Amino acid sequence: MGEDSGAVSEQVFHILLALVDRPRHGYGVLQEVEHRTEGRVSLGSGTLYSAIKRMLASGWVEEAEVPDPEDSRRRYYRLTDRGRDVTRAEAERLEELVRHARVKAVLGGVRAPG
């Protein structure tokens, strides 16, 4: 995960997406991923915090200020500019894969002559 090129895991991509719109604490990330995927993706806390540790080391996320002083026991995380770039690059990579699947009529696209 130290490189900014190439695919990221599905779990990491979901964590990055959870942090796109606002800083969240770990449990908030877990809830957002589960809600957005309608329960299809349920991250374990070990998976989450291992990924966050690697993303912190890679400069993709950073700790954020705690928005609520009464919530000071929780650590909040936010995307860095580098993390936004990685998220965008991964979304573009996935979009290209979907375009290829459509050309091959896997997703109902029009198959190219050949």
Tell the burial category of 47 from Cβ atoms under 10 Å away from its Cβ (0-12, 13-18, 19+). Answer: middle
What is residue 1's predicted lDDT score, i.e. its pLDDT?
52
What is residue 4's predicted lDDT score, i.e. its pLDDT?
57
Distance separating alpha carbons of residues 111 and 26, to the nearest angstrom:
43
pLDDT tens, the chain, 114 aa long? 545 557 899 999 999 999 999 999 999 999 999 999 999 999 999 999 999 999 999 999 999 988 777 777 889 999 999 999 999 999 999 999 999 998 888 887 665 555
What is residue 113's predicted lDDT score, i.e. its pLDDT?
57
Distance separating alpha carbons of residues 15 and 69, to the nearest angstrom:
24
What is residue 66's predicted lDDT score, i.e. its pLDDT?
82
What is residue 2's predicted lDDT score, i.e. its pLDDT?
47
Q: Which CATH class is domain 10-80?
A: mainly alpha
Helix then strand then coil, % of the chain, to nearest 5:
55, 10, 35
